[in-house]
Amino acid sequence: MTSATEPTEPLSVEQLSATTLLRFATAGSVDDGKSTLVGRLLHDSKSVLTDQLEAVERVSADRGQDTPDLALLTDGLRAEREQGITIDVAYRYFATARRRFILADTPGHVQYTRNMVTGASTADLAVVLVDARNGVIEQTRRHAAVAALLRVPHVVLAVNKMDLVGYRESVFAVIAEEFTAYASELGVPEITAIPISALAGDNVVEPSANMDWYGGPTVLEHLETVPVSHDLAHCHARLPVQYVIRPQTAEHPDYRGYAGQIAAGTFRVGESVTVLPSGRTSQVAGIDLLGTPVDIAWTPQSVTLLLTDDIDVSRGDLLVPSKDAPPTTQDVEATVCHVADQPLTVGHRVLLKHGTRTVKAIVKDIPSRLTLDDLSLHPHPGRLAANDIGRVKIRTAEPLPLDSYADSRRTGAFILIDPSDGTTLTAGMVGESFAAPQPVKDEGDEDGWDF
Amino acid sequence: MTTAATVSEAAGDSGNSGPYALSHLDALESEAVHIFREVAGEFERPVVLFSGGKDSIVMLHLALKAFAPAPVPFSLLHVDTGHNFPEVLEYRDRTVAAHGLRLHVASVQDYIDRGVLKERPDGTRNPLQTVPLTEKIQSERFDAVFGGGRRDEEKARAKERVFSLRDEFSQWDPRRQRPELWQLYNGRHAPGEHVRVFPLSNWTELDVWQYIARERIELPEIYFAHEREVFQRAGMWLTAGEWGGPKESETTEKRQVRYRTVGDMSCTGAVDSDATTLDAVIAEIAASRLTERGATRADDKMSEAAMEDRKREGYF
Given this model, what pLDDT does residue B4 score? 34
- The Cβ of residue B315 has, within 10 Å, a number of other Cβ atoms equal to 22
Residue A448 has pLDDT above 90, yes or no: no
Between B70 and B303, name the one with better pLDDT: B70
Residues of B in contact with A252 (CB under 8 A): 69-70
Cβ distance A121 to B18 less than 8 Å, yes or no, reads no
- B180, B87 in Cβ contact below 8 A? no
Cβ distance B289 to A7 less than 8 Å, yes or no, reads yes
Distance of CA B223 to the CA centre of its chain: 14
Q: pTM (2 decimals)? A: 0.90
- A378's enclosing H/E stretch is strand A376-379
- The Cβ of residue B289 has, within 10 Å, a number of other Cβ atoms equal to 18
Residue B316's nearest CA partner among B195, B215, B227, B218 is B195
Distance of CA A313 to the CA centre of its chain: 30
User: What rounded mean pLDDT belongs to chain B?
Assistant: 85
Given this model, what pLDDT does residue B180 score? 93
Residue A284 has pLDDT above 70, yes or no: yes
Q: How far apart are CA A103 and CA B6, in angstroms?
A: 26
Cβ distance A422 to B22 less than 8 Å, yes or no, reads no
Cβ distance A246 to B70 less than 8 Å, yes or no, reads yes
Pairing outcome for strands A125-131 and A154-160? parallel
Contacts (Cβ under 8 Å, ≥6 apart) of A214: A169, A172, A194, A195, A203, A208
Beta strands in chain B (DSSP E): 46-49, 75-80, 103-107, 144-146, 163-166, 194-197, 226-233, 236-239, 252-259, 270-272
Q: By CA distance, what is A6's nearest residue in B?
A: B289
The pLDDT tens digits for A373-423 are 888 899 999 999 999 999 999 999 999 999 999 999 999 999 999 999 999
Residue A219's nearest CA partner among A234, A198, A200 is A198
Residue B11 has pLDDT above 70, yes or no: no
Q: How far is CA A27 from CA A336, B68, B305, in A?
A: 19, 41, 26
Residues of B in contact with A90 (CB under 8 A): 151, 155, 158-159
Give the pLDDT band of residue B1 (cuts 50, 70, 90). very low
Q: How far apart are CA A330 and CA A402, in angstroms?
A: 10
- The Cβ of residue A56 has, within 10 Å, a number of other Cβ atoms equal to 19
- B310, A70 in Cβ contact below 8 A? no
Q: How far apart are CA A146 and CA A141, in angstroms?
A: 9
Q: Nearest CA of chain B to the CA of A272: how many Å?
A: 22
Q: How many CA atoms lie within 13 A of B4 on its CB side?
A: 11
Q: How far apart are CA A390 and CA A367, in angstroms?
A: 8
Q: Which of A142-146, A398-402, B150-154, B193-197 has the lowest mean pLDDT?
A: B150-154
Given this model, what pLDDT does residue A449 score? 37
Residues of A in contact with B294 (CB under 8 A): 49-52
Q: Which of A271-285, B12-26, B156-170, B297-311 has the lowest mean pLDDT?
A: B297-311
The pLDDT tens digits for B234-269 are 778 888 877 777 888 888 899 999 988 887 887 788
Q: Is B71 left (phi over 0), alpha (psi -120 to 50) or beta?
A: beta
- The Cβ of residue A153 has, within 10 Å, a number of other Cβ atoms equal to 17
Residues of B in contact with A20 (CB under 8 A): 10, 13-14, 17, 21-24, 27
Residues of A in contact with B21 (CB under 8 A): 20, 228-229
Cβ distance A413 to B289 less than 8 Å, yes or no, reads no
Q: How far apart are CA B290 and CA B119, in angstroms?
A: 30
Instruction: Choose the closest CB to B179 out of A21, A50, A339.
Output: A339
The pLDDT tens digits for B175-203 are 778 999 999 999 999 998 999 999 999 99
Residues of B in contact with A103 (CB under 8 A): none
Q: Nearest CA of chain A to the CA of B199: how many Å?
A: 14
3-state class of A374 per DSSP?
Answer: coil
Residues of A in contact with B28 (CB under 8 A): 21
Contacts (Cβ under 8 Å, ≥6 apart) of A319: A238, A239, A240, A241, A258, A260, A267, A273, A274, A275, A276, A305, A313
Cβ distance B182 to A8 less than 8 Å, yes or no, reads no
Q: Nearest CA of chain B to the CA of A140: how many Å?
A: 22
Give the pLDDT band of residue A7 (cuts 50, 70, 90). very low
What is the average per-residue pLDDT within B93-107? 94
Cβ distance A302 to B33 less than 8 Å, yes or no, reads yes
Residues of A in contact with B236 (CB under 8 A): none
Given this model, what pLDDT does residue A375 score? 85
Q: Which of A69-83, A144-158, A202-216, A303-317 has the lowest mean pLDDT?
A: A69-83
Q: How far apart are CA A225 and CA A97, in angstroms?
A: 12
Residue A176 has pLDDT above 80, yes or no: yes
Q: Nearest CA of chain B to the CA of A158: how many Å?
A: 22
Which residues on neighbouring strands pair with residue A353, listed in sequence order?
A358, A415
Which residues on neighbouring strands pair with residue A180, listed in sequence order?
none
- Residue at A137: amino acid letter: I
Instruction: Choose the closest CB to B24 out of A19, A92, A424.
Output: A19
Residues of A in contact with B181 (CB under 8 A): 117-118, 121, 339, 413, 415, 424, 427
Cβ distance B184 to A413 less than 8 Å, yes or no, reads yes
Q: How far apart are CA A361 and CA A398, in angstroms?
A: 9
- B268, B259 in Cβ contact below 8 A? yes
Residue A303's nearest CA partner among A276, A270, A267, A272 is A267
Q: How far is CA B18 from CA A10, A405, B11, in A?
A: 27, 23, 7
Contacts (Cβ under 8 Å, ≥6 apart) of B16: A225, A226, A227
Residue A269 has pLDDT above 70, yes or no: yes
Residues of B in contact with A426 (CB under 8 A): none
Which DSSP string corresponds to A187-230? T-SEEEEEE-BTTTTBTTTBPPSS-TT--S--HHHHHHHS----
Give the pLDDT band of residue B14 (cuts 50, 70, 90). very low
Q: By CA distance, what is A414's nearest residue in B?
A: B184
Give the pLDDT band of residue A87 (cuts 50, 70, 90). low
Q: How far apart are CA B304 and CA A3, in angstroms?
A: 24
Residue B10 has pLDDT above 50, yes or no: no
Cβ distance B33 to A288 less than 8 Å, yes or no, reads no
| A49-53, B13-17, B112-116 — most confident range | B112-116
- B195, B178 in Cβ contact below 8 A? no
Q: By CA distance, what is A113's nearest residue in B?
A: B179
Instruction: Choose the closest CB to B37 out of A49, A73, A242.
Output: A242
Angle at the Cα of B69 from the Cα atoms of B64 and B72, rounded to 5 degrees: 40
Residues of B in contact with A421 (CB under 8 A): 188, 190
Cβ distance B34 to A242 less than 8 Å, yes or no, reads yes
Instruction: Choose the closest CB to B186 out of A55, A81, A415.
Output: A415
Q: By CA distance, what is B178's nearest residue in A?
A: A424
Q: Nearest CA of chain A to the CA of B273: how many Å?
A: 16
Q: Nearest CA of chain B to the CA of A177: how many Å?
A: 27
Residue of A424, A426, A429, A430 for testing the chain B interface, max B β-carbons within 10 Å: A424
Cβ distance B294 to A52 less than 8 Å, yes or no, reads yes
Evaluated on CA atoms B281, B283, B285, B288, the torsion sign reads: negative
Given this model, what pLDDT does residue A14 score? 55
Q: How far is CA A246 from CA A258, A386, B68, B98, in A?
A: 9, 43, 9, 21
The pLDDT tens digits for B43-98 are 999 999 999 999 999 999 999 999 999 999 999 999 998 888 888 999 999 999 99
Alpha-carbon Rg for chain B in angstroms:
20
Give the pLDDT band of residue A293 (cuts 50, 70, 90). very high
Pairing outcome for strands B75-80 and B103-107? parallel
Q: Nearest CA of chain A to the CA of B312: how many Å?
A: 11
Angle between helices B278-287 and B205-215 in degrees, nearest 10: 160
Share of chain A above pLDDT 90, in %: 64
Q: By CA distance, what is B15's nearest residue in A?
A: A225
Cβ distance B286 to A16 less than 8 Å, yes or no, reads yes
List Cβ<8 Å contacts ≥24 apart for B173-176.
Answer: B173/B312, B174/A77, B174/A79, B174/A87, B174/A88, B174/B308, B174/B311, B174/B312, B175/A77, B175/A79, B175/A87, B175/A88
Give the pLDDT band of residue A92 (cuts 50, 70, 90). confident
Q: Nearest CA of chain B to the CA of A178: how many Å?
A: 29
Residue A305's nearest CA partner among A237, A351, A213 is A237
Given this model, what pLDDT does residue A16 score? 54
Residue B17 has pLDDT above 60, yes or no: no
- Residue at A282: amino acid letter: S
In terms of C-beta density within 10 A (0-12 exposed, 13-18 middle, 19 or more buried), how is residue A78 classed?
A: middle
What is the average per-residue pLDDT within B139-156? 90
Q: How far apart are CA B101 and CA B103, in angstroms?
A: 6
Cβ distance B177 to A88 less than 8 Å, yes or no, reads yes
DSSP H helical segments within B200-288, as ranges?
205-215, 278-287
Cβ distance A291 to B65 less than 8 Å, yes or no, reads yes
